[in-house]
């Protein structure tokens, strides 16, 4: 059997894939409030609760939306990958600590997010010198 070499997808398409996840999670799920379970997860965090949880979630949605736009821009891709990593590790850690009982599949969440972060780092590495 002969293995045929495949070209990498364009960097812009890879950026769009990563940005789409941030825009979906930030804008659709949090800012527009289309994923109600996320409110429950945030409200389970001590010191947030029902009073601050919704405001925190809205702010987080704005941050995630901005992160998606940053990924799309291609500006400072290494720093962007670091920011994505710090945010996602912080969110996953707090979710597992305070709201594990609400998260549908905690292990699956971690695996998917690790793969997503890997794609973010690949995009950052390929973005060096790309337009």
Which domain, by its residues, includes 86? Answer: 11-127
pLDDT value, residue 98? 94
Residue 7 backbone dihedrals phi, psi, to 5 degrees = -75, 150
Q: What is the pLDDT of residue 130?
A: 62
Reference 95, options 82, 79, 107, 77; nearest CA is 107
Report the domain count for the chain: 1
Angle between helices 77-98 and 49-73 (to 10 degrees): 160
Q: Does some domain include residue 39?
A: yes
Could you tell me the CA-to-CA distances from 107 to 6, 36, 87 in Å, in that order?
32, 21, 18
pLDDT at residue 129, rounded to an integer: 65
Instruction: Provide the CA 1 distance to its chain's centre, in angstroms.
Output: 38
Q: What's residue 71's pLDDT?
A: 98
**Per-residue pLDDT, 2:** 87
Tell me whether residue 2 is in a domain. no
Residue 58 lies in a domain: yes
| Cβ contacts of 28 within 8 Å, gap of 6 or more | 34, 35
CA-CA distance, 55 to 31, in Å (whole number)?
Answer: 10
Residue 66 falls within a domain, yes or no? yes
- pTM, entire model: 0.92
Q: Is residue 5 part of a domain?
A: no
Residue 3 lies in a domain: no
Segments in the chain below pLDDT 70: 129-131
């Amino acid at each position: 059997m002969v293995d045929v070499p495949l070209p990498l997808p364009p960097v812009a398409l890879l950026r769009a894939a990563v940005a789409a996840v941030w825009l979906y999670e930030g804008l659709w799920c949090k800012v527009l409030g289309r994923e109600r379970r996320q409110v429950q997860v945030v409200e389970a965090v001590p010191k947030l609760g029902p009073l601050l949880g919704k405001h925190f979630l809205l702010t987080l949605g704005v941050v995630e939306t901005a992160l998606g736009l940053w990924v799309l821009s291609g500006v400072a891709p290494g720093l962007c990958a670091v920011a994505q990593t710090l945010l996602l590790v912080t969110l996953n850690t707090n979710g597992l600590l305070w709201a594990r009982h609400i998260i549908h599949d905690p292990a699956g969440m971690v695996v998917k997010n690790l793969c997503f972060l890997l794609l973010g780092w690949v995009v950052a590495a390929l973005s060096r010198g790309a337009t």
